[in-house]
Amino acid sequence: MVKVSSITYVKNGEKYIEQCIRSVMNQTLKELEIIVVDGESTDATPAILEALAQEDARIRLYTCAGSVGAQFNCGLRVAVGEYIGICEGDDYIPENKYEVLYDIAKENRCDIVKAAYRQVIHVKGKEYGFAINYRPEEVLERVVETGERGDRFVRLGVDGFWSGLYERRFLLDNSVFMNETKGAAYQDITFSFLSQLYAGRCYFLREPLHNYRLDNEEASMYAAGCIETHYKEYGLLEGILKERRLWEKYKDIFLAWELVSYTHFCRMLARESRYEKIHEVYGHLCRQIKDNAIRMEEDCLEMKEVYEALIEGEPTFREAVLKEEDRDTRMIEYFRGRFRSEGKVAIFGAGHIGEILCTYARLQGKEILMIDNGKAAQEAGCCGEKVYPADVVRQNRGLTYLVANYKYGEEIRKQLTGMGIDEAHIILCQNENCFLRRIFAGIKNEGL
């Protein structure tokens, strides 16, 4: 019996595909099939896949001339496993991923089981990974049922659809597929929305069981026209919801997903094109609300503030979208400038973001002073560094202080100014995604 069908879609992925497929071949769960759908690659990818298939009879190779969505759908239609797993061609997975997820899925009769994941960067042949889990604490490590409302999971938003297992019959019975639009980016929006909408029982793990590569510069998320692609994908999802008579019930959540996507990608745009694109997005969303009589009456995916700004007018919407721009710009300018000449830095916050900053500072050869207000952090240390209480700040007023705490960053900033640290020497580093992609992932090009 095939317990898991692992689907990989790839096109011209010679650089990473062998590591990806071998990570699936090496799974401790042996009752699996390895479905690989190649998008008519013109590099060495087909030869690599053929060689791997000679080693492992569980590998089934297919060719599909269409997009990523078409490749995935091809794999899903030929799969025979109880559950579907996904490992994109430039990612790789720990050897216990499918065994852990499958056992939980079977024991708890789940439609979906999802793990946390690691964002991974490689520097001089060494891997650096940082666990990410955006799920609220109340849904972790237990079975979560939809409930009477029927929208509990879809309100959580998209977060690494490839990090989980999906019961195959559940997907097929509810016609949950990817869109087969042209290209290789964001066809998973519809898949994620529908799978979370239809799921009755889910389980979310705290443990990271997927390695998501950040340093592939050819990844689809870096392609031009991201926002235009989102218009198309959300438009197709809207059509599906209307066709299935689900639109009226879920249109406010649909808008919240749009707000998350457009806000994120507007912040990633180059400064010279940002205002023009925000103007375009504002018009698109206003038409969406007017034409469909959408009114977001609840805190949905924590986007209520952006929604209210949208209703108030374009200047307020632009301000809400770019709310963190000045802070992140200042962070980037610091690391690309003054940081390079400093011999020692202070990192205030010994949690997840503090670990990322500490790792980066070490790679750059800096002496590090770690600080945290919590006694538990002080006792545990961080990345092998001793963690000091805030009192140490008074003896180190000449350092730059990197504030590494998303939730309490502003409070820490005020604490530091109250201890005599000048604002110019306080850098808020609260956007880990921005730091990892814009700073850490570029380290390989700096001659280290």
Question: Rounded CA gap, 328 and 337, in Å?
Answer: 14
pLDDT at 295: 84
Question: Rounded CA gap, 38 and 362, in Å?
Answer: 40
Q: Select, from the ranges 146-150, 324-328, 392-396, the one with the highest average predicted confidence (pLDDT).
A: 392-396
The arithmetic mean of pLDDT across residues 18-46, rounded, is: 97
> What is the residue-averaged pLDDT of the chain?
89
Q: Do the Cβ atoms of 185 and 223 come closer than 8 Å?
A: yes
Partners of residue 121 on adjacent β-strands: 128
| Fold exhibited by the domain 4-216 | Spore Coat Polysaccharide Biosynthesis Protein SpsA; Chain A (3.90.550)
Asked if the model's pLDDT at residue 154 lies above 80, the reply is: yes
Higher pLDDT pick, 444 / 127: 127
Asked if the model's pLDDT at residue 344 lies above 60, the reply is: yes
Range in 89-93, 245-249, 305-309, 313-317 with the lowest mean pLDDT: 305-309
Let me know the angle formed at the C-alpha of 93 by 91 and 95, rounded to the nearest 5 degrees.
155
Question: Rounded CA gap, 84 and 82, in Å?
Answer: 7
The arithmetic mean of pLDDT across residues 64-79, rounded, is: 93
Q: What is the pLDDT confidence band of residue 125, given thresholds at 50, 70 and 90?
A: confident
pLDDT 10s digits, 307-320: 889 999 999 999 88
Query: Tokens 């375009």 identify what position?
Result: 280
Q: What is the pLDDT confidence band of residue 184, given thresholds at 50, 70 and 90?
A: low
Range in 66-70, 313-317, 414-418 with the lowest mean pLDDT: 66-70
The arithmetic mean of pLDDT across residues 270-282, rounded, is: 84
The amino acid present at 231, given as its one-letter code, is Y
Q: What is the pLDDT confidence band of residue 219, given thresholds at 50, 70 and 90?
A: low
pLDDT at 65: 86
Q: What is the pLDDT confidence band of residue 425, given thresholds at 50, 70 and 90?
A: very high
pLDDT at 165: 97
Residue extents of the structural domains in the chain: 4-216, 226-323, 326-443
The amino acid present at 428, given as its one-letter code, is L
Torsion of CA 190, 192, 193, 195, to 10 degrees: 110
> Could you tell me how far CA 191 lies from the centroid of its own chain?
15
Closest C-alpha among 232, 155, 190, 153 to residue 72: 190
Label each residue of the chain as H, E or C: CCCEEEEEEECCCCCCHHHHHHHHHCCCCCCEEEEEEECCCCCCHHHHHHHHHHHCCCEEEEECCCCHHHHHHHHHHHCCCCEEEECCCCCECCCCHHHHHHHHHHHHCCCEEEEEEEEEEEECCEEEEEEECCCCHHHECCEEECCCCCCCCHHHCCCCHHHEEEEHHHHHHCCCCCCCCCCCCCCHHHHHHHHHHHCCEEEEEEEEEEEEECCCCCCHHHCCCHHHHHHHHHHHHHHHHHHCCCHHHHHHHHHHHHHHHHHHHHHHCCHHHHHHHHHHHHHHHHHHHHHHCCCCCCCCCCCHHHHHHHHHCHHHHHHHHCCCHHHHHHHHHHHHCHHHHCCEEEEECCCHHHHHHHHHHHHCCCEEEEECCCHHHHHHCECCECEECHHHHHHCCCCCEEECCCCCHHHHHHHHHHCCCCHHHEEECCCHHHHHHHCHHHHHHCCC
Q: What is the pLDDT confidence band of residue 134, given thresholds at 50, 70 and 90?
A: confident
The arithmetic mean of pLDDT across residues 318-345, rounded, is: 90
Asked if the model's pLDDT at residue 340 lies above 50, the reply is: yes
pLDDT at 300: 63
pLDDT 10s digits, 369-395: 999 999 999 999 999 999 999 999 999
Question: Rounded CA gap, 254 and 158, in Å?
Answer: 11
> Could you tell me how far CA 145 lies from the centroid of its own chain?
24
The arithmetic mean of pLDDT across residues 47-56, rounded, is: 97
Question: β-strands 126-132, 112-123: how paired?
Answer: antiparallel
Q: Do the Cβ atoms of 346 and 371 come closer than 8 Å?
A: yes
Task: State the architecture of 326-443 in CATH terms.
Answer: 3-Layer(aba) Sandwich (3.40)
Q: What is the pLDDT confidence band of residue 230, given thresholds at 50, 70 and 90?
A: confident
The arithmetic mean of pLDDT across residues 132-148, rounded, is: 79
pLDDT at 335: 95
Partners of residue 144 on adjacent β-strands: 202
The amino acid present at 176, given as its one-letter code, is V
pLDDT at 448: 39
Asked if the model's pLDDT at residue 321 lies above 90, the reply is: no
Q: Would 4-216 and 326-443 be classified into the same CATH topology?
A: no
Percent of the chain with pLDDT strictly greater than 90: 66
Partners of residue 33 on adjacent β-strands: 5
pLDDT at 218: 60
